[in-house]
Amino acid sequence: MIQLFFLVLTVLFVPAHIVPAQAQQIGADCQSPALPGVNWHRCYLEDKPLSRVDLTGAKLREARLLRAILIQATLVDVDARRAKLMRARAEQADFTNADLREADFTRANLDGANLTGADLRRTRLFKATLRGANLTNARLGRTDILDADLTGATWTNGTYICGPDSIGQCK
């Protein structure tokens, strides 16, 4: 609490060129190349071709990746809370342990995607395709899977495979 108080005072009364680097806010760089750990927080990256790129640990919180091409991309440990990925193509993408809370994957293609350990609470997967996806240990609290195609997906327990015609639920 005291540290926060001094940080606020420092920001208010000390010129920016005197403030230590760690106290300055480091913002997103939407022009940065696709690399592990990239900070694309709140960036507009619509229709971006990102197939087979490694974005491990990337900061994609509230980013707009509408219609992005993420085929076979590595998105392990990404923070993509509230990201917009509507109509994204993420076939065989690796979202292991990704934080995808409240993200919107409406009509996205996640066929064969690895969502092992991903946090999908309150995520919107409306009309998304997850055929053959791996949801082992994924957290699905209040996840919208209305009309999502889960045919052949490995369910959260890691053993049950969703049957044919698993639309909107794993049968």
pTM: 0.84
In a domain, 122, yes or no: yes
Compute the mean pLDDT over every residue in the chain, rounded to the nearest whole number. 89
Domain of 123, CATH number, reads 2.160.20.80
Which residue, 65, 30, 32, is CA-closest to 51?
65
Contact (CB, 8 A) for 2 and 9: no
In a domain, 152, yes or no: yes
In a domain, 8, yes or no: no
Contact (CB, 8 A) for 123 and 100: yes
pLDDT tens digit sequence for 46-93: 999 999 999 999 999 999 999 999 999 999 999 999 999 999 999 999
- Give the count of domains, the chain: 1
Q: DSSP assignment of 22-43, as one string?
A: GGS-----TTS-S-TT-B-TT-
Query: The domain containing residue 93 runs over which residues?
Result: 47-171
In a domain, 25, yes or no: no
* Residue 26: band (very low, low, confident or very high) from pLDDT cuts 50, 70, 90: low
In a domain, 13, yes or no: no
CA 48, CA 132: separation in Å to the nearest integer? 24
In a domain, 29, yes or no: no
Tell me what the mean pLDDT of segment 93-106 comes to: 99
Q: How far is CA 19 from the centre of its chain?
A: 33
pLDDT tens digit sequence for 109-153: 999 999 999 999 999 999 999 999 999 999 999 999 999 999 999
In a domain, 106, yes or no: yes
Question: What's the pLDDT score for residue 125?
Answer: 99
**Is the pLDDT assigned to residue 19 strictly greater than 80?**
no
Question: What's the pLDDT score for residue 27?
Answer: 80
Contact (CB, 8 A) for 107 and 126: yes
Percent of the chain at pLDDT exceeding 70: 85
